[in-house]
């Protein structure tokens, strides 16, 4: 089995895996980074969102062989101590219900705000529509993204 | 009408204390039942046994309070709100309270649970009594030390003060308190003195969630554990004839492949290998029982509705006579599909079966019942089976059924390995347990401008409405009233789905009342309010909704939503419902964008008695309303020859942020004991938007999902 060298949250990590293994399962099963969640496996729900070279990416569709070229950031690496403005906004608004989708939501939000620092409400609603929240905490996610934007600006 | 009260409990039978070896005091108590009289809490935290008591409080020498809560947390917030009740009466600062999900079970004990929207309602009295009892013991210990009467002492935020102004912290008297007897009677606080109840308290797990810490069953790992993917029959009614695993076994990482029942387990070193191994299996399926289709169900359910074979759930007066003598009879049929639960965290479970014990870990709403079923399946003694609960990535009813835990246990039993069973999304959506497809026929008679008869008929797949549902509004409001149910037995597995039965019944009923008002040419709000007048003073104990409380939420919703006073182009729809002991009214505001109806806002008025944690309560309410809208609009699920129509989110549509309205919540101020919020705001939502869409487009929707039942040009999103 081939060995792949990855850069995850600033650290160099290597893994022996089939080349078609999605990054999601490498993170979860091999690197014990379980903050990135499995939801659908086909890039539809956004629970597995990570940053690949700063871009919000569905890790269930990104093969490990491709990911070797990229700087990967997961929720565990978004900040060292959950102090990223997006994480703090999520806490202040008390967004989570079950909480399972929220890592993916926060990763989508963080990447979006980097590209769009002062988003309008409709830009937020469109940008965040790739992530499903089954508990439908959408009103609070929307508010938290607005709050995070104000913290970042 | 009967006032709902919590069962009275003998405190001596459910509270016991002991001095902890490491310092401090441990109080064990049972929330909903008495414990064995001889049992005392352990002197070491590690010996906590949730079989003896189902919750514990530890007060340390430094005054810090730890509340061990073993109740399942599925996102409904009880891990935060239930400890709040204890902390309030114990009279400590919330910042000094640590909430811990019951420690990992290492000693073969099962745990008791409370579930559904009932946790707060049933826990209201016993949890506060427990806190108050502990507080009184601490006061008594301080009083002995000072040589004063306990009645001279007061407490504030974990500090006891006597008449002279001397002060002692809880931590300074815990040791002495542990030696005292448990007081017989304690006084609970007047709600006006609450410091914690009614305050916005953040989710106790929020720090772990935002940091991506392992909390869920899916995140659980053990040394030596193998991952399992299971191939199940592709259709309800199919069974396994044989299979070829040759290719599967060549997938790197696959350890073993074997059959159990009509399923095939693939064991592997990691999840991806297990999933790949499953995809490579070649299985032969043969017909075992009937392969059913939604097309057939439609006909069967319609025939049931038009037939004569019903169970009568409630009968007042004589509906047939009312219909025979009516000026007008109005009749409508409402139809709903099956629905999968689609918890964000797919089903999963850890199991390790050895000669000594059966250890299970994972997300489950019913750990106790599941442990018993596993014991039965594996022919083991119940005390040999333990279940540890993880946080759950959603429940919605799906995790009441321990089928996935049984599968994991069986696979571990065969392989003798610690296993973690993981469902793919496709497994999760197609393996079963759905909200049953249901049709309602509602008929009403009008005579002399008055509603004289109301006949509700239910035809459902596999199971009918139960409990007090037939006694919900408009029971008691209409002289001649009858509820009849019939079911068709199918091999498609069904079960509870958030707000069982009422999740669709509320839509049918509240759409029907809207239409009746239109036909009778009366104001739709007045029609409801007038009917409620008939229920006031009704002494029927089965009627537990309060006409006064329902009237209040309706009137408040009218006011807060600016009902009837919206600018041109905003179309409103009204709905009000009682279920799960909570009264709710909702108004949806719809506008037309490119001639398509878009829900902009829902005003939701809730009477759930005292609001324990407004921050958490509003989250439940917002989620419930949007969940109700999403499934009414888009939730579509059917069968063709036993095969589910949808298997993943590429074709199964869940509501997304750009389709959600703003939910504005208003609570009715109340001193009445609190009731649950996990479910009751979902049922009225569908009718609120259907009634608004009627106002906007003139289309009367009677069938869910709406998206399939509007003209193509009316499609939303």
- Where does A3-78 sit in CATH, by number? 3.10.20.30
CB proximity A51 to B under 8 Å: no
Domain ranges, ordered by start, for chain A? 3-78, 85-152
Report, as an integer, the average pLDDT of B68-83: 76
- Where does B220-288+347-422 sit in CATH, by number? 3.30.365.10
Asked whether the beta carbons of residue A97 and residue B76 sit closer than 8 angstroms, the reply is yes
Interface test with A, best of B657, B677, B717 (most A CBs within 10 A): B657
Residue A107 contacts residue A59 (beta carbons within 8 Å): no
Banded model confidence at residue B14, pLDDT cuts 50, 70, 90: low
Asked whether the beta carbons of residue A128 and residue B627 sit closer than 8 angstroms, the reply is no
ipTM of the complex: 0.98
CB proximity A146 to B under 8 Å: no
**pLDDT for B47:** 77
Measured in angstroms, the CA of B268 and the nearest CA of chain A are apart by 12
Q: Chain A to chain B, count of Cβ pairs less than 8 Å apart?
A: 192
Asked whether the beta carbons of residue B344 and residue A47 sit closer than 8 angstroms, the reply is yes
Closest residue of A to B211, CA-based? Answer: A82
Rounded CA-CA distance B422/B271 in Å is: 8
Nearest to A100 among B203, B344, B660 (CB): B344
Q: Give rounded-to-5 percent helix, strand, coil for chain B.
A: 35, 25, 40
**Is the bond leading into B457 cis (omega within 30 degrees of zero)?**
no
Rounded CA-CA distance B602/B584 in Å is: 12
Report, as an integer, the average pLDDT of B652-656: 98
CB proximity A80 to B under 8 Å: no
User: Which CATH number does the domain B13-211 belong to among 3.40.50.970, 3.30.365.10, 3.30.830.10, 3.40.50.300?
Assistant: 3.30.365.10
Reduce the DSSP state of residue B215 to 3 states and report it.
coil
pLDDT digits (tens, 9 = 90+) for B568-620: 999 999 999 999 999 999 999 999 999 899 999 999 999 999 999 999 999 99
User: Which CATH number does the domain B503-709 belong to among 3.30.365.10, 3.40.50.720, 3.90.1150.10, 3.30.210.10?
Assistant: 3.30.365.10
Asked whether the beta carbons of residue B210 and residue A22 sit closer than 8 angstroms, the reply is no
CA dihedral angle for residue B113, residue B118, residue B124, residue B125, rounded to 10 degrees: -70
Residue B376: both structure tokens together: 């039965």
Name the DSSP letter for residue B250: H
Does the structure show a pLDDT above 60 at B650? yes
In this structure, is the dihedral angle defined by the CA atoms of residues A30, A34, A35 and A40, taken in order, positive or negative? positive
Q: What percent of chain B has pLDDT over 90?
A: 77
**Chain A residues close to B270, C-beta within 8 Å:** 17, 21, 25, 29-30
Name the DSSP letter for residue A28: I
Residue A153 contacts residue A118 (beta carbons within 8 Å): yes
Residue A91: both structure tokens together: 């806490």
Residue tagged 């019903």 (tokens): B310
pLDDT digits (tens, 9 = 90+) for B15-31: 778 888 888 888 887 76
Residue A78 vs residue B386, higher pLDDT: A78
Residue B595 vs residue B161, higher pLDDT: B161
Asked whether the beta carbons of residue B212 and residue A35 sit closer than 8 angstroms, the reply is yes
Residue A7: both structure tokens together: 């850069």
**pLDDT for B662:** 98
E strand or H helix at B665:
strand B662-667
Does the structure show a pLDDT above 60 at A128? yes
CB proximity A34 to B under 8 Å: yes
Measured in angstroms, the CA of A86 and the nearest CA of chain B are apart by 9
Residue A27 contacts residue A50 (beta carbons within 8 Å): yes
**pLDDT for A22:** 98
Residues with Cβ within 8 Å of B576's Cβ and at least 6 positions away in sequence, in order, are B510, B528, B550, B553, B554, B557, B583, B584, B585, B586, B684
**pLDDT for B70:** 62
Query: What does pTM read for this prediction?
Result: 0.94
**Within 10 A of B475 (CB to CB), how many other CB atoms are there?**
24
Domain ranges, ordered by start, for chain B? 13-211, 220-288+347-422, 503-709
- For chain A positions 110-129, those within 8 Å of chain B (CB to CB) are 124-126, 128-129
Banded model confidence at residue B712, pLDDT cuts 50, 70, 90: very low
Asked whether the beta carbons of residue B346 and residue A45 sit closer than 8 angstroms, the reply is no
- Where does A85-152 sit in CATH, by number? 1.10.150.120
Q: CATH topology of B13-211 equal to that of B220-288+347-422? A: yes
Asked whether the beta carbons of residue A97 and residue B393 sit closer than 8 angstroms, the reply is no
pLDDT digits (tens, 9 = 90+) for A85-118: 999 999 999 999 999 999 999 999 999 999 999 9
Q: What percent of chain A has pLDDT over 70?
A: 100
Q: Which of B315, B600, B267, B343 is nearest to B481 (CA)?
A: B315
**Chain B residues close to A126, C-beta within 8 Å:** 658
**pLDDT for B1:** 37
Closest residue of A to B346, CA-based? Answer: A39
């Amino acid at each position: 089995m081939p060995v792949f060298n990855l850069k995850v949250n600033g650290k160099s990590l290597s893994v022996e895996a089939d080349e078609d293994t999605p990054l999601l399962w490498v993170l979860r099963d091999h690197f014990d980074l379980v903050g990135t969640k499995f939801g659908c496996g086909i890039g539809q729900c956004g629970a597995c969102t990570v940053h690949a070279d700063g871009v919000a990416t569905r890790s269930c569709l990104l093969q490990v062989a491709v990911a070797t070229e990229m700087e990967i950031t997961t929720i565990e690496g978004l900040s060292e101590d959950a102090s990223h403005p997006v994480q703090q906004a999520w806490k202040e608004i008390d967004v989570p219900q079950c909480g399972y989708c929220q890592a993916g939501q926060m990763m989508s939000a963080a990447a979006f705000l980097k590209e769009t620092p002062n988003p309008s409400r409709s830009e937020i609603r469109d940008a965040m529509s790739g992530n499903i929240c089954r508990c439908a905490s959408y009103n609070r996610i929307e508010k938290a993204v607005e709050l995070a934007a104000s913290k970042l600006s | 009408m009967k006032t709902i009260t919590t069962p009275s409990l003998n405190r001596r039978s459910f509270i016991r204390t002991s001095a902890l070896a490491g310092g401090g005091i441990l109080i064990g108590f049972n929330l909903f039942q008495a414990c064995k009289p001889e049992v005392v809490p352990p002197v070491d935290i590690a010996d906590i046994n949730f079989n003896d008591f189902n919750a514990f409080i530890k007060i340390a020498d430094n005054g810090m309070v730890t509340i061990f809560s073993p109740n399942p947390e599925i996102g409904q917030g009880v891990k935060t709100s239930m400890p709040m009740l204890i902390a309030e009466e114990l009279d400590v600062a919330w910042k000094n309270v640590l909430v811990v999900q019951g420690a990992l079970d290492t000693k073969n004990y099962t745990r008791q649970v409370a579930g559904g929207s009932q946790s707060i309602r049933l826990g209201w009295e016993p949890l506060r009594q427990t806190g108050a009892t502990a507080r009184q013991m601490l006061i008594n210990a301080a009083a002995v030390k000072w040589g004063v009467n306990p009645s001279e002492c007061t407490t504030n935020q974990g500090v006891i003060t006597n008449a002279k102004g001397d002060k002692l912290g809880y931590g300074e008297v815990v040791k002495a308190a542990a030696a005292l007897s448990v007081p017989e009677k304690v006084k609970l606080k007047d709600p006006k003195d609450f410091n914690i109840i009614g305050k916005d308290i953040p989710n106790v797990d929020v720090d772990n969630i935002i940091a991506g810490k392992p909390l869920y069953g899916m995140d659980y790992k053990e040394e030596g554990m193998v991952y399992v993917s299971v191939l199940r029959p592709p259709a309800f009614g199919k069974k396994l004839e044989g299979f070829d695993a040759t290719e599967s076994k060549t997938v790197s990482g696959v350890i073993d492949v074997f059959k159990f029942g009509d399923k095939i387990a693939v064991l592997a070193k990691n999840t991806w290998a297990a999933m790949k191994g499953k995809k490579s299996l070649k299985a032969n399926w043969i017909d075992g029982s009937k392969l059913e289709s939604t097309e057939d169900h439609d006909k069967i359910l319609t025939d049931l509705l038009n037939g004569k074979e019903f169970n009568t759930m409630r009968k007042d007066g004589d509906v047939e006579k009312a219909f025979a003598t009516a000026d007008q009879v109005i009749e409508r049929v409402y139809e709903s599909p099956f629905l999968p639960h689609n918890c964000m965290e797919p089903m999963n479970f850890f199991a390790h079966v050895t000669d000594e014990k059966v250890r299970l870990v994972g997300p489950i709403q019913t750990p106790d019942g599941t442990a018993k079923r596993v014991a039965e399946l594996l022919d083991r003694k119940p005390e040999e089976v333990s279940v540890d609960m993880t946080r759950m990535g959603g429940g919605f009813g799906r995790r009441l059924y321990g089928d996935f835990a049984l599968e994991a246990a069986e696979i571990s039993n065969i392989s003798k390995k610690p296993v973690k069973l993981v469902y793919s999304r496709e497994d999760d959506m197609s393996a079963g347990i759905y909200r049953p497809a249901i049709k309602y026929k509602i008929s009403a008679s009008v005579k002399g401008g008055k509603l004289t008869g109301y006949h509700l008929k239910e035809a459902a797949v596999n199971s009918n409405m139960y409990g007090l549902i037939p006694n919900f509004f408009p029971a008691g409001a209409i002289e001649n009233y009858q509820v009849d149910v019939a079911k068709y037995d199918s091999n498609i597995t069904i079960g509870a789905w958030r707000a069982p039965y009422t999740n669709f019944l509320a839509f049918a009923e509240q759409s029907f009342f809207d239409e009746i008002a239109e036909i009778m040419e009366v104001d739709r709000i007045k029609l409801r309010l007038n009917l409620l007048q008939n229920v006031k003073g009704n002494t029927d104990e089965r009627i537990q909704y309060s006409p006064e409380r329902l009237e209040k939420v309706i009137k408040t919703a009218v006011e807060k939503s600016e009902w009837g006073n919206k600018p041109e182009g905003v179309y409103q729809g009204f709905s009000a419902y009682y279920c799960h002991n909570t009264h709710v009214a909702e108004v949806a505001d719809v506008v037309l964008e490119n001639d398509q109806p878009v829900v902009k806002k829902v005003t939701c008025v809730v009477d759930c008695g005292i609001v324990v944690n407004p921050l958490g309560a509003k989250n439940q309410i917002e989620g419930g309303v949007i969940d109700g809208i999403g499934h009414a609009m888009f939730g579509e699920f059917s069968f063709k020859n036993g095969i589910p129509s949808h298997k993943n989110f590429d074709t199964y549509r869940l509501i997304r942020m750009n389709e959600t309205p703003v939910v504005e919540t208003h609570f009715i101020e109340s001193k009445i004991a609190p009731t649950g919020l996990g479910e009751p705001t979902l049922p009225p939502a569908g009718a609120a938007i259907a009634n608004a869409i009627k106002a906007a487009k003139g289309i009367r929707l009677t069938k869910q999902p709406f998206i399939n039942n509007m003209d193509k040009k009316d499609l939303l999103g």
